[in-house]
Chains A and B, each alone.
Chain A
Amino acid sequence: MFDLVQKEEALFELPKRGSMLTSGLVVATEELLRQQMDEPLKQLKNVTHLPGIVGQAVAMPDMHWGYGFPIGGVAATDLETGVISPGGVGYDINCGVRLAVVPIPFSRLSEKQKEALLKRVYETVPSGVGHGQKNQQPLSDADYRKIVEQGARFSLEAGYGLEEDLLHSESHGCIEGGSLDAVSKRAQSRGKAQLGTIGSGNHFAEIGAIEEIFDSTITDAWGIAPGTTYVLIHSGSRGFGHQICQDTLDDFMKKGFEKNLPDPQLVAAPLKSPEGERYFQSMAAAANFAFNNRQRILHAVREAFVKELGIRPEELKQIYDVCHNIAKKETHFGQQVCVHRKGATRAFGKGHPELSEVYQHTGQPVLVPGDMGRASYLLVGLGRPETFASCCHGAGRARSRIKSKKHWKGRDPLDYMERQNVKVLANSMRTIVEEMPDAYKDVDLVVDAAEKARLASRVARLKPHLVVKG
């Protein structure tokens, strides 16, 4: 169906044909391309029609069928003449991942300590639906205004986290240009009790061991030793971000911005239009909510480590916090562009001026969660220009939720996970069944493709052992 042309190892071109404004670039191995690629490639082709698109529309090796854009899709548009598309960001604005390490070998924890730690994290960090922060006041307008304007610093100043956390975060935990005036009251109301909560679906907090080191020069620079305990958090902007996306789609559709696009889900407004500017302001607001969300979740995990293991908060050192559903204003090929990364991670290489000092020398950390059984990866960005310095964001789903349910019907998923040396706590058995490791592609294959295409290179492999799911 798609006449992909191989350009390099793990790099294919989707040639420009017909009404396409540019070609597509697909990062994948042949093995990955054999897995359910028709829908995401069709979506990639659609993305090439976005007005003002710069360079190529790019698909990451974990790409799968998404809303408008494929998940694992990257596209840059010219700031002056281009458009911004909520479908290129996703419903969960600034869904992202945060990694921290603890300077104790995971193998040194007793089974009792592990059980207690898991239970404590489960109790301290609200997960699942309807599990807001019990002892927290709902966010006021003034809180929201600070969140939107200051990003994660709002939580830091309220006592959640450490100053270094901001240095070790993409954009230092704040996307500039957010405005509460661009956000509906309904979005505020939907998110008011959700700050510091994981949510459900594929979101999680996990603890495990740094299983394998691939580049010790980098792990030395980042302060990571083999066998070290790690904490990985995956969450986003919760109902606040979902509502902002929905409000924008309703508005864009009402105004007919989907006309002339091959798929209404790509609906996009010119960046320089009032509608485009308003979306950017509200999207940045949601992105800053998400940074605060992960900031507070990490704080709660730190508290769990204090209570169960006597480990001080400052000993849980944040390695990085990355966004993987966002549109950002960046400079590429000497041009100011708006880079949409939908299920894709920024992967700046060494020397990029936006990076803090430690990462200037190495390139930025790229966090690639796999699944809750096999592994996740820590990579270092190489800043490949054609991808707008991007990389994959995870393993990518391989099996639908109903297939997962059918597959695990009558079997005990928790027992299976125990046999993989992983303990799982979740609010809903449905979530566990839907999120079993075999619902995902093999993250090893995905990372292999990213490395072969020189988007990022392997630094360490992470093995999960204690998982809290929504």
Chain B
Amino acid sequence: MNKRLFFGFKALSPLLHSFPEGRTLDPASRHLTLAFLGNVDSEPLETNLESHPPFPFQVGLTGFASHLLFLPPKSPRVVAWHIECYQQAKLLHFHEQLRFWINQQGYSLENRPLLPHVTIARKPFNKAEWKRAFSKIPLYFDTFTLYESKPELRYVPVYEKKLLLPFEEIEHTADRAFLIRGEEPKVLFYNALTALSCSHPELLDVELPSRPCDDLKEIIQQLNTLISHADENVGVDLKAVSYHSSLREKTGYFEWEMIVDV
């Protein structure tokens, strides 16, 4: 049976934002496209999906929309967020492995480098208005999905594989608390930053530290440096990330309970 198929990661952001006029995509359908197969006989692929290449990460990826793309550039039909993924190298590696695997299944793909983006609207749109309304938006990608593209901008998942959530907000009586997950300290830092940016996107405008974190103390100190700068620049209702708890080692990743004084 022929289906119009593509692989991608679901793109999620708890941050509420309004867009200019346009045929915007349902937020639940937003995705970062990895490989577009086109209209193909889906059966060989669907029977063999579980053999897809292993992920070089257990915890979902995080990043942010750094600017807008109007694609294709010569005669744009879609508005998309350009995605800066904090683990770009691992994303590119997985993309390569996936392409190789798809070819092994007997499908051919266009030979194009990955342009990490998330489509948000289709034409007609007013480019200037969209540019004016843009600000950086944090995103996370926790579900590897094979989508079937249907009419009316509907994307139906055919196959899904969940990764661990990079962060979750949890209960705290007085302050705000999150469970942060990551395979190494620098990933924990980025995932904590994404958690905070979901309510305070102004943190994304602050320059990131040049040196990656080595331990929990450094993660906390670097997050607090970002909070200080954001408070100084535009004001944020976060006081600081507190020196709380330790890193819990899980199978292949770490978990940290981050408490933010507000």
Contacts and interface: CB of A to CB of B under 8 A. Distances in A.
B15 to A, nearest CB: 12
A264 B228 contact: no
Nearest to A187: B228
Interface string A123-163: 00000111110000000000000000000000000000000
Interface size class of B (residues with CB under 8 A): 20 to 34
Q: Which of A243, A398, A403, A431: most chain B Cβ within 10 A?
A: A243
A403 B242 CA distance: 21
A377 interface: no
Contact of B237 (A65, A201, A253): A201
A376 B237 CA distance: 24
A249 interface: yes
B236 interface: yes
A196 B172 CA distance: 30
Nearest to B240: A246
B235 A249 contact: no
Nearest to A405: B169
A265 B231 CA distance: 23
A299 interface: no
A67 B261 contact: yes
Interface string A245-256: 110011001000
A231 B167 CA distance: 41
B172 to A, nearest CB: 6
A470 B173 CA distance: 19
Contacts of B1: none
A212 B132 CA distance: 54
Interface in A182-217: 186, 189-190, 194, 199-201
B239 A402 contact: no
A451 interface: no
B244 A265 contact: yes
A400 B262 CA distance: 12
B240 A253 contact: no
A429 to B, nearest CB: 10
A258 B228 CA distance: 23
Contact of A249 (B202, B243, B259, B262): B243
A352 interface: no
Contacts of A66: 174
B231 A242 contact: yes
A232 interface: no
Contact of A65 (B173, B176, B202, B224): B173
A412 B228 CA distance: 34
A131 B228 CA distance: 16
A92 B242 CA distance: 13
Interface centre among B173, B232, B242, by most A CB within 10 Å?
Answer: B173
A401 interface: yes
A260 interface: no
Given A91-B240, A246-B240, A130 B228 contact: no
B217 A200 contact: no
Contacts of A130: 202, 234-236
A91 B237 CA distance: 12
B237 A129 contact: yes
A246 B259 CA distance: 14
Given A249-B243, A265-B243, A401 B231 contact: no
B173 A398 contact: yes
Interface in A250-287: 250, 253, 258, 264-265, 267
Contacts of A246: 224, 228, 239-240
Contacts of A430: 199
Given A131-B235, A132-B235, A190-B228, A242 B240 contact: yes
A344 to B, nearest CB: 14
B171 interface: yes
Interface string A62-106: 001111000100000000000000000001100000000000000
Contact of A91 (B172, B234, B239): B239
A399 B240 contact: no
B221 interface: yes
A423 interface: no
B127 to A, nearest CB: 28
Interface centre among B199, B217, B237 (most CB of A within 10 A): B237
A297 B86 CA distance: 42
Nearest to A65: B173
Contacts of A420: none
B59 to A, nearest CB: 21
Given A91-B261, A199-B237, A201-B262, A239 B231 contact: yes
Residue of B176, B217, B232, B244 with most partner-chain A CB within 10 A: B232
A194 B237 CA distance: 12
CB-CB nearest 8 A-B residue pairs: A130-B235, A200-B237, A129-B235, A91-B239, A242-B239, A129-B237, A239-B231, A130-B234
Given A239-B235, A245-B240, A403-B171, 14 more contacts: A36-B173, A67-B259, A71-B174, A128-B235, A129-B237, A130-B234, A239-B232, A242-B261, A246-B224, A253-B243, A258-B243, A267-B243, A397-B174, A398-B173
Interface of B: 169-176, 199, 202, 217, 221, 224, 228, 231-232, 234-237, 239-240, 242-244, 259, 261-262
10 contacts: A66-B174, A200-B237, A242-B261, A246-B228, A249-B243, A397-B173, A397-B174, A402-B171, A402-B176, A470-B237
